[in-house]
Amino acid sequence: MIHAMPKDIYKSDFNYQVPEELIAKYPTANRSDSKILSFANGVFGINPFSKVKKFFQQDDLIVFNETKVFKARLLLRKDSGGKAEIFISKIKNKYTAECLTKGLNLQKKIQQLKSEKFPLKIEILEKDSNFVLIKFNQQIEHLCGIIGHVPIPPYLNRQDDETDKERYQTVFANKAFTDSVAAPTASLHFDEQLFKSITDEHKTTKVSLAVGLGTFKPLSDEPITESSSLHEEEFYISDEAAESINQQLAKGKKIIAIGTTTLRALEAAWCCESKQIKSGKSSTNIFIKEGYEFKVVDTLITNFHLPQSSLLMLVSAFSSKDFIFEAYKHAIENNLRFFSYGDAMIIER
């Protein structure tokens, strides 16, 4: 349910400055070496992420996104020797995908390209202002596995390396859901030991939301209204997960979402008629912003988000814009690390 917003909002309303040195261009030496910002009794606190369990109660339900990132970037060369790049955003079938491209002549329907391993033939089927629909002469899963690069965020201003192959992936990623082009980054803080101790000591469940490029796509300069929506992302909630979540809701007990992608799946799966989470496969273009009424999630663990982004609007809606900007100010003053490989914060509403 979307409540009336008091006024239109603009992405410029959610701008802030973060020092370049606080942008985490590489992960910490160990996953749980990162930090987590909290707020209690009117005071901000900073703890090692390894102590995150101190924020969980025995009867809380903790929900993770078990999607897996595939190596979506193909770095190629044209016959002329020039560089080209194809970023596979969404796989439609074995041979066809929605893509972003750089350096390709989109007027040329059939093209021969060279990869690090073998030649590659593509056919441009359709193109619009958002994506190019490309048919490959080899199975896309095979291509990505052999020549694909880890799709680390462009603002890191570097190429992916061996570290990213492991660290831009959660320890509980499920190969059955290898469909994300970006990591659910709040979950990158959990190492195997921490994750196991949480699942041993607390109630947990998993959902899967395929993180799309649209999550990070810059918003337009147009006003954001009640009817504004975002890109579409597919998600899956098993019968077992839905039952656990619905039982928790019926008891009035707390649900903790690990990451904005988990929150987005849970809120999108809510059925207003039954007052429950629906199981199964679905998709959502929900834009969570000021005026949104949360039905499922009580607590959110998330990283620090880019200025003027839809994710910054989401966390501001979850608590308040004033609180989030005060928290980010405190994070900057205390040299916390920002964005995908950065530190985390826990927010309650």
- Three-state SS string across 43-107, please? EEEEEEHHHHHHHCCCCCEEEEECCEECCCEEEEEECCCCEEEEEEEEECCCCEEEEEEECCCCC
Question: The whole model's pTM is what?
Answer: 0.94
**Which amino acid belongs to residue 53?**
K
The token duo for 68 is 């897996």
Residue 27 has pLDDT above 50, yes or no: yes
Structure confidence at residue 138 (pLDDT): 95
Nearest Cα neighbor of 115 from 155, 142, 152, 97 is: 142
Nearest Cα neighbor of 271 from 263, 279, 261 is: 279
The domain spans of the chain are: 11-69+165-348, 73-149
Nearest Cα neighbor of 66 from 293, 285, 258, 288 is: 258
Summarize pLDDT for 125-156 with one digit per residue, the tens.
999 888 999 999 999 999 999 999 999 998 99
Summarize pLDDT for 202-247 with one digit per residue, the tens.
999 999 999 997 766 778 888 888 878 888 899 999 999 999 999 9
CATH entry, 11-69+165-348, from 3.40.1780.10, 3.40.50.10860, 3.40.50.2000, 3.40.190.10: 3.40.1780.10
Contact 206, 65 (CB under 8 A): yes
For 238, phi then psi, to 5°, come to -70, 165
Tell me how far the alpha carbon of residue 311 is from its chain's centroid.
Answer: 9
The domain made up of 73-149 has a fold known as Thrombin, subunit H (2.40.10)
